[in-house]
Amino acid sequence: MEIGIRLMKINIPNAIIIGAIIVSVGIYLSSLNDPLANCMDKLIENNYSHRTAAKYCSGYKN
């Protein structure tokens, strides 16, 4: 029984670290294909202001 408790104490921190790594990789990969950021980058490269690019890319109608 004592061996099982020791293993559980070691495995919980490892599981937390592995879970954090998986979540951070998922967030990073999803940010690579962000359509809003890609739209903003393209418009800012073409000398649009940040405000105009944000309005155009978010679909704001005025």
* 34-47: pLDDT as tens digits: 888 889 989 999 99
Q: For the whole model, what pTM was predicted?
A: 0.52
pLDDT digits (tens, 9 = 90+) for 19-36: 899 999 999 988 888 888
3-state helix/strand/coil string of 5-47: HHHHHHHHHHHHHHHHHHHHHHHHHHHHCCHHHHHHHHHHHCC
Across the range 39-57, mean pLDDT stands at 90
